[in-house]
Amino acid sequence: MDLGVDFLGHSIKNPLMNASGCWCDNKDLLDDLLQSEAGTFVTKSATSEYREGNPKPRYIEVPLGSINSMGLPNLGIDFYLNYSLEFQNNHPDDINFLSIAGMCMEDNLSMVKKIEQSEFKGITELNLSCPNVPGKPQIGYDFEATERILEEVFSLTKKKIGVKLPPYFDFAHFDAVSEILNKFPLSYVNCINSLGNGLYIEDDTVSIRPKDGFGGIGGAYVKPTALANVRAFYLRLNQDIAIIGCGGVESGKDMYEHILCGAHLVQVGTQLMKEGPQVFARILQEFNELVKSKGYESLKDLRGALKSM
């Protein structure tokens, strides 16, 4: 099957990519992604300046996934913007995603302005859902703050903007968030960031150092929640807002299920950290075999085709 995707007018060779924060913090890791079979990539969520992040250990693999409290360690917006501009010059037919996660409204707006004034032709992802910065609640759980930030951002830019959302768990929240998102010329929503503030215990002790051991959960633990969020937003958002599915993608079957629920693109996080960038080739091969065996002829036929009982 041809796995090419037309994403907001850009053609992407296949729907698979990394999740922000995974294998994308520095030049070497980003270069690895370029060498891989991933269709595109997103950079680590940037702040205005370099950030050291939280004390280590801050990421561990656990039996069904991972727990992390990285705290947005990153090289600062200038590095990721310059990397993206260079990528764009070297690959004029391709696009990438540039993730930003300001420490406050001003921080986000100054990065949006900087991107607006640059030649960046890709898509900016506004991360409204990092659970790991001590003292900073996840914006996506504060609906007024979410609306305010989107108003400010869209008053400053005509470039393409998507949002990375936290997981929601209640139909009232799916409805309320969709109503807000539908007011804006958003390019896409990315469902979901890690499932915030879980605890993983080993030998009576928390397993990561920051925030007394509380951290974002990823991997197989979160797949049902991720699929539910993809599906819920697919059914509620305006048709011109695309969906990126993220959460629990370890195999071609997981990728298939995200697309079946409505995802245009699919991200790999925990499994990428575990297996390295060769994960993309393996998942794509498994996906190809599965769609062939199911008789689908195009990704368009598969997207959103989840059946009711």
Active site residues: 130
Closer to ligand SIN at the Cβ: 111 or 130?
130
Distance in Å, CB of 55 to ligand SIN, minimum:
12
Closest alpha carbon to 238 in 308, 167, 180, 301: 180
CA 159/CA 157 separation, integer angstroms: 5
Task: For the beta carbon of residue 301, count every other beta carbon within 10 angstroms.
Answer: 13
Distance in Å, CB of 51 to ligand SIN, minimum:
9
Closer to ligand SIN at the Cβ: 88 or 146?
146
Distance in Å, CB of 145 to ligand SIN, minimum:
16
Closer to ligand SIN at the Cβ: 58 or 303?
58
Closest alpha carbon to 75 in 125, 32, 26: 26
Closest alpha carbon to 234 in 254, 257, 267: 257
Closer to ligand SIN at the Cβ: 18 or 88?
18
Binding interface with ligand SIN (CB under 6 A) = 21, 45, 70-72, 127, 129-130, 132, 193-194, 216
**Helix, strand and coil in the chain, % to nearest 5:** 40, 20, 40
Phi, psi of 275, deg, nearest 5: -105, -20
Distance in Å, CB of 132 to ligand SIN, minimum:
3
